[in-house]
Structure 1
């Protein structure tokens, strides 16, 4: 079994404000309806109910979770939906609105059909939702629990690991130590190892196109973020700052300021429910694009290798996802921003000429200095401290890459050790610091 996750799974196109609270539930609802259709039960459905548990319930309204569920039931998918159609979809239901399940089966859905159970933690993950389809007599046609485990990944309750559907990769690895051993034995860079694995998973002819689509979407999100004025929704009255910062930088400024502006631009777009790329989550979506754009604009000299950049980031993100967590509801913000910072630092180190050992060191530095970082969004919104936090972490990624490049790659603490420490820290962390908005800043910032 390899830890490697395809870049098309780790970097997915979706909408804000949250990969676990918005993207995942939308996918779960759409999958639920697809299952009803394929099994021939869709025409029997007269009602649909949804229960949101744990963190999905605690901060679901601020994260747009009920809207995402309603949109998913109607057949919307995060990759292709119009964000404007999703916003407010739940509130618009009121006492009952006809929703075409999967775009075909008309069913009246009411606002109260979405139930919140924030104090109930389901066994596999705190981000859980139950979807029930009922016939006209109130008998269950289908009853399914889904877990949104971070980064938009969704796991049905009864899912079993597949040994058939997923192709074998030529370079399987489960730890950073194994990845470095592969590089030493083959002479390949980390990006080249990831490239070969991608070829096996999605086809060699598809890798370049996938990378181009991902990077183009990241750049488009930055561009939208630096050009869209206004205030963010949700009641905190947060003003978008990226456009003003961008205008001032066009007249001259420090290169580091560009890096922070790019990161904040992405996360302001995310907070507004716009189109973003999970990297590896929405809450941390600004770091990898910002560092990549900074590299392309200021460091590459016209020869930016975004293929190596994104493939290296994918390999590092795969390690974190397999051995710890990229879910803020499971590991706190160390699992989101810490993971993204490690991915960006390692990727930047690689494209600036770092050896595999230096790349591993850069990722280790970045992750180590995010250990213990809590997820305590004010008002249950992905705004404070999330937007600024992405800007700070982007600069940390740059610093980590530079520090690693200035070394010979040898160091005392391995990336594997830091990832395991992050996992343990997440287990020890109180739930009030894991995306529930019941502790930290969320408790101490008074909303008027």
Structure 2
């Protein structure tokens, strides 16, 4: 079973698969060199990016992520305030100091956007060479979405009391109990309950900090498109306006929180993958919505929301994909909306059947969604797409709660359709910036 804390990771923007995953891969590569006693022999490191990683390298910050990873940084702890300047210095010097080495080594980067290394389009190869250009070590990594690297799962995973491979099995095991209780029981098989709750609340703190930064930080997003940050202005207008006579003002707050997160993500800020960076705004936006408007919102509600949401993300990751480079944005925003809808439905008193229905509704109405970032940046259409996905999640939860949990299309069918649609989707619509808005936007 995938853990909740594998699905929700603290990282940096703008992409979990193109930034977080490659940084982790580079960091892991250097650790391997140290473990094998090779660091003192390394004179140069060669990096090759393939497929989607190469096609959107600069816009997604993959080059920065790899160099900082080689320098010993990790997504959870890297200083985002100094990361850009440090990257510029390493790039300009053409040398990077590997942690534990006595001096700096040369680095090169090669891009192969038209080449793919199976089994996943996000591949990177790192090689360490000695002074005679003899290869000391070469490793291939695949960044498969959400910050995961292929092979992250342990060879002998810890047994859990309620394993589930799909939604049908999840519902059968849950019975009349809450889905969050089942997921909590699985997590407490790995670590004490107080630690599970503390870590979930820490994730919520990171999400809230991200929203707060997004609502306060003015300016224009980096990358050259000139996209303005809209969250600060919208936040000021909503605070001045109050609820007033507008019965739909709550929708504006949901959209605001999603915009705030994804503008921070686009600027390389710290976010929580939920389940990816490109879709990181939906889960916190809907959870903020509950805390703002529900009279009984508390820490227990936060924990239950995240546990329930994670159950849906686990199902999609196991049976389809959460990687835009593999299945398009339906796997990112679609999954995030399904997760958020499920979490909200449980907090509003939904049965397991209604929770599953909410997730299915949200996912079904994102099927076929392409990933076509303009200019290779996680900005257009990604930022607004999170706002719309958040509103869809709320609507899906409300629609499911107005039913009795019985519905014609099960969540598992929607997940299989996501997988099959992603397989049929042309590669130019899978995070390569070679189709859709990326080529039809007149200013690019």
**TM-score of the pair, normalised by structure 2:** 0.96
Given the alignment, which residue of 122, 134, 137 partners 2:129? Answer: 134
CA distance in 2, matches of 1:361, 1:179: 13
Structural mapping, 1:82-101, within 5 Å: 82-87=79-84, 89-94=86-91, 96-101=93-98
1:143 counterpart SS class: strand
Structure 1 residue 174 corresponds to structure 2 residue 165: yes
Given the alignment, which residue of 75, 78, 86 partners 2:75? Answer: 78
2:42–2:105 contact (8 Å) kept in structure 1: no
Q: Counterpart of 2:179?
A: 190
1:22–1:63 contact (8 Å) kept in structure 2: yes
Q: Deviations over 1:10-59 (max 9, x none)?
A: 11110000000000000000000001101111111110000000000000
Q: Counterpart of 2:53?
A: 56
CA distance in 1, matches of 2:207, 2:152: 33
Structural mapping, 1:261-280, within 5 Å: 261-280=256-275
Change in CA separation of 1:300 and 1:337 when aligned onto 2, cut-off 3 Å: farther
1:5–1:315 contact (8 Å) kept in structure 2: no
Q: Counterpart of 2:227?
A: 238
Q: Counterpart of 1:440?
A: 436
Moved more, 293-302 or 282-291: 293-302
Structural mapping, 1:356-371, within 5 Å: 356-371=352-367
Tell me how large the CA RMSD over aligned residues is.
1.4
1:52–1:128 contact (8 Å) kept in structure 2: yes
1:29–1:131 contact (8 Å) kept in structure 2: yes
CA distance in 2, matches of 1:263, 1:180: 30
Deviation of residue 108 (structure 1)? 2.9
Q: Counterpart of 1:215?
A: 204
1:200 counterpart SS class: coil
Q: Counterpart of 1:299?
A: 294
Change in CA separation of 1:161 and 1:229 when aligned onto 2, cut-off 3 Å: closer
Structure 1 residue 224 corresponds to structure 2 residue 213: yes
CA distance in 2, matches of 1:105, 1:127: 32
Change in CA separation of 1:385 and 1:168 when aligned onto 2, cut-off 3 Å: same
Structure 1 residue 377 corresponds to structure 2 residue 366: no
Change in CA separation of 1:107 and 1:366 when aligned onto 2, cut-off 3 Å: same
Change in CA separation of 1:326 and 1:88 when aligned onto 2, cut-off 3 Å: farther
Structure 1 residue 7 corresponds to structure 2 residue 27: no
Deviation of residue 260 (structure 1)? 0.2
1:132–1:140 contact (8 Å) kept in structure 2: yes
CA distance in 2, matches of 1:300, 1:100: 52
Q: Deviations over 1:152-198 (max 9, x none)?
A: 0012xxx496443x2111100101000000011xx421100000011
Given the alignment, which residue of 126, 129, 139 partners 1:144? Answer: 139
1:68–1:86 contact (8 Å) kept in structure 2: no
Deviation of residue 413 (structure 1)? 0.2
CA distance in 2, matches of 1:88, 1:234: 15
Structure 1 residue 427 corresponds to structure 2 residue 418: no
1:332–1:433 contact (8 Å) kept in structure 2: yes
Given the alignment, which residue of 323, 346, 353 partners 1:350? Answer: 346
* Runs (5+) with no aligned partner, structure 2: 244-248
How many pairs align? 437
Structure 1 residue 206 corresponds to structure 2 residue 203: no
Q: Counterpart of 2:17?
A: 20
1:49 counterpart SS class: strand
Change in CA separation of 1:37 and 1:181 when aligned onto 2, cut-off 3 Å: same
2:287–2:305 contact (8 Å) kept in structure 1: yes
Deviation of residue 300 (structure 1)? 4.0
Structure 1 residue 407 corresponds to structure 2 residue 407: no
* Runs (5+) with no aligned partner, structure 1: none
**TM-score of the pair, normalised by structure 1:** 0.95
Given the alignment, which residue of 307, 314, 321 partners 1:311? Answer: 307
Q: Deviations over 1:349-382 (max 9, x none)?
A: 0011000000000000000000000000000000
1:53–1:129 contact (8 Å) kept in structure 2: yes
Given the alignment, which residue of 260, 264, 282 partners 1:287? Answer: 282
1:148 counterpart SS class: strand
2:188 counterpart SS class: helix
Change in CA separation of 1:342 and 1:389 when aligned onto 2, cut-off 3 Å: same
